[in-house]
A and B are shown apart, each in its own frame.
Chain A
């Protein structure tokens, strides 16, 4: 192999914009991807609603708005506790357990909402509204479950870097909910 071009001192990139992001770059790739998915899903929901706003309003009336509002408060509080866990290394477990308990509360409330719908015979194929309701809230709830699993792993094997990433994931779940809740439960 006699093709050895002069090696070039490769680019030193001190002030690359990606480096200014707080935390792990991959978490931000995930956050942006999730925002795009939920954002597209919510806009599609509003787009499909145009064809029949009355049916959408009727279906929406069978949702439990109080449960949704309670869950908003539960999630933002949980997010606060997770953020505290990151900033208080010696009380990390305490804060994180609190955050996890609230995450579980969110899921329990969600569970009651789903079973109440099931008892009325409402499912994902019932109407366009409910297709979106189940897809979006279900997908979000799966992220809550995933977040709790990640937190459990961190409790077992604590590590500041992973904790920071896990908390950012949790904030993303929060972020999605504060956009999802008003659009699905309230806009009419």
Chain B
């Protein structure tokens, strides 16, 4: 560790990993309810578990991004983080907010209260007081990292990272506007959800990927920056108006069907570019970095993101297709593989890279980490195929033949069982990953003994 304040990242990553475990376990319970619909229905209904699953996902990914920023900014800016105190305070606020969210959901406290109760908008259901806390924490964070960068060296990597982080924080402000009109509600909701994952988060992902490539392949910074700029430009060009692919059927004017179809189709380009980038860099770079696990995750992230976001996204993004698939299991398949590939895997890549450094050890437990990669990635890929199959059957029976929703669901039982099985593999992989990061064993891979990535 070159800079003392990089240590801040350790605590963010730790908190993120704990929530990661909660998130996938929540998914597993939700998946079981699909198999056994009455499971836990008295204690904790499906909608609450689903909410925990999706919200803890967003929170831990954000914690991971914050941690990544605290980890890589000192090295890029060549100076310590402006104020470690603010950074820790920020983490505490976020954790208290998360706890508040969980307690409010689980016990359904303050139902209907505008300030203390939940809001029921997927991904941003937090009670208003937590949202305020999030904004305060985000402001502290932005102040802290921006000060650090302003006083230090400015690189393309930190510029893009800050652009993404500022963007995602500003977009979150739309969470405070919750119009009564359902069409308007949805319209603004997508400003956050879509412009996050297909805009600002993409910048964060690209910047972390560029940092990892810089460190692990030893390719010239100049070349890496060129790629980074192309990725960022194409992501913003396509992603902003690509929001239109959510405006097909919610009461927005018809021309959105064309704007959405055309621009969102181009969203494939930045994801393809990220995949090409990572492979070209590894192929060109001659450095044989010992942290094979981090490299595996980085390559895996850009590849799975291309399939999950790019291929599975394109699959249902043209309005002629989306007319049939909207809101079916196809959407769930895409949502899982895209989130997993782009944001989960990229977070796990930077964790894998940073942990050995933060803990002052050689890369350790590489094999376990790599096994967890294959368990999780394999599980997710299988889950995606199963859900895509289920979604195709559902689309045909429900949307083409016009059968009743619940009757169709009856017929999908086997798929849901298989989804649960692949989900279990993901959960085991996740626990294994966490163990591999934390367990103190030393285990350096020497040439020839370890499995190659």
Please report the C-alpha to C-alpha distance between residue A91 and residue B338 in the assembled complex, in whole angstroms: 53
Q: Are B290 and A29 in contact (CB under 8 A)?
A: no
Within 8 A of B (CB), among A1-22: 1-3, 5-8, 10-13, 18
Chain B residues closer than 8 Å to A135, beta-carbon distance: 255, 258-259
Question: Would B253 and A37 count as touching, CB distance under 8 A?
Answer: no
B218 touches A3 (CB 8 A): no
Interface residues on A, range: 20 to 34
Is residue B378 contacting chain A, with contact meaning CB distance below 8 A?
no
When distances are taken between beta carbons in the complex, the residues of chain B under 8 Å from A11 are 219-220, 223, 284-285
Size category, B interface: 35 or more
Residue B249 is within 8 A (CB to CB) of chain A in the complex: no
> Which residues of A120-145 are within 8 A (CB) of B?
124-125, 131-132, 134-135
Inter-chain residue pair count (beta carbon < 8 A): 77
Interface hits, A22-41 → B, CB 8 Å: 25-26, 29-30, 33, 36-37, 40-41
Contact for B258 among A10, A33, A36, A44, CB less than 8 A = A44
Interface centre among B226, B229, B291 (most CB of A within 10 A): B226
Judging by beta carbons under 8 Å apart, are A3 and B233 in contact?
no
Closest residue of B by beta carbon distance from A139:
B259
Given contacts A26-B233, A29-B233, A33-B234, contact A41 B258 (CB under 8 A): yes
Across the interface, which residues of B come within 8 angstroms of A44, CB to CB? 258, 261-262
Is the C-beta of B286 less than 8 angstroms from some C-beta in chain A? yes
Within 215-236 of B, Cβ neighbours of A (below 8 Å) are at 218-220, 223, 226, 229-230, 233-234
Residue B357 interfacial (CB < 8 Å): yes
Contact (Cβ within 8 A) B223 A125: no
Binary A-proximity of B249-261 (CB < 8 A = 1, otherwise 0): 0000111001101
Closest chain-B Cβ to A43's Cβ sits at a distance in Å of 10
Residues of A within 8 Å of B363, CB to CB, are: 3
Pair A40/B2 contact, Cβ less than 8 Å: no
Residue of B nearest to A2 (CB): B362
Nearest A residue (CB) for B241: A37
- Asked if A30 contacts B233 (CB within 8 A), the reply is yes
B287 touches A37 (CB 8 A): no
**A7 with B2: in contact, given A29-B234, A36-B266 (CB under 8 Å)?**
no
Q: Which of A5, A18, A30, A33 contacts B287 (CB 8 A)?
A: A5
Whether the pair B219, A131 counts as a contact (CB closer than 8 A) is: no
Write out the residue numbers on chain B whose beta carbons fall within 8 Å of the beta carbon of A124.
253, 255
A59 to B: closest C-beta gap in Å: 15
* A-B contacts, 16 listed (Cβ < 8 Å): A5-B218, A5-B287, A8-B287, A10-B219, A11-B284, A29-B230, A29-B234, A30-B233, A33-B234, A33-B237, A33-B266, A37-B263, A37-B266, A124-B255, A125-B255, A131-B254
Closest 5 CB pairs of A and B: A10-B220, A8-B286, A8-B218, A40-B262, A33-B237
